[in-house]
Amino acid sequence: MKKVLVPLAPGFEELEAVTIIDLLRRAQIDVTVAGLEKGPITGSRGTRIVPDTLLSSAVNSDYDMLVLPGGLPGADNLNSDDHIHDLLQQMSVKGKYIAAICAAPKVLASAGLLANKEITSYPGSLSGITVEGMHNTGEEVVVDNNVITSRGPGTAMDFSLLLIQLLAGDKIRNEVEEGLQR
């Protein structure tokens, strides 16, 4: 069974986080939701989610993918956490998938993982960030080798379905999508 880590920081974008967690679990993917702090984590719209564990406890497991929900100040809070940068860099070195949506690609940029990559992000979220060779396409979802990025809350379902496709294949992705009745 594939394993995915979804870190939650205060101010996360609820629509993105819940869509990612829900759809991946529908695909029978083992999703660990890890909070940067103990107890419920409050999203940008006031929704509170209780993580499965603390990020400091989750870092010792092996994952096939790490997915960063966006939102503000959630993405900034993820970006301020040393564990996140270390995990991202370790996953990248191992050739594992790293995914970020909305404002969260800024975390990938700060971790030094977007050089010479095609990406997408929430408009304006990467303003003032210069990365050599990075091209922000503005598309809904972009895959560049092991890096997957998406534009924002409105693209969360397509983003999550693509993550399922990468981890579990077309058949499972199609089964999950069919059940959604889109």
Residue 131's pLDDT is 94
Residue 60's pLDDT is 87
What are the structural domain ranges in the chain? 3-177
The model's pTM is: 0.97
Cα 47 from Cα 29, distance rounded (Å): 24
SS3 state of residue 180 = helix
> Looking at 6, 8, 99, 102, which residue is catalytic?
102
The token pair at 34 is: 């890890």
Cα 48 from Cα 56, distance rounded (Å): 20
Cα 18 from Cα 88, distance rounded (Å): 21
The residue written with tokens 């809350």 in the block is 153
Residue 82's pLDDT is 85
Residue 120's pLDDT is 98
Is residue 33 among the annotated active site residues?
A: no
Per-residue model confidence as pLDDT tens for the chain (182 residues): 999 999 999 999 999 999 999 999 999 999 999 999 999 999 999 999 999 999 999 988 999 999 999 999 999 999 999 899 999 999 999 999 999 999 999 999 999 999 999 999 999 999 999 999 999 999 999 999 999 999 999 999 999 999 999 999 999 999 999 999 98
Kindly report the length of the chain. 182
User: For the domain 3-177, what is the CATH superfamily, name and number?
Assistant: Class I glutamine amidotransferase (GATase) domain (3.40.50.880)
Return the amino acid letter for 57. S
Q: How crowded is residue 116: how many other Cβ atoms within 10 Å of its Cβ?
A: 10
Sign, CA dihedral 111-114-120-125, equals positive
Give how far the C-alpha of residue 2 lies from the chain's centroid of Cα atoms, to the nearest Å. Answer: 15
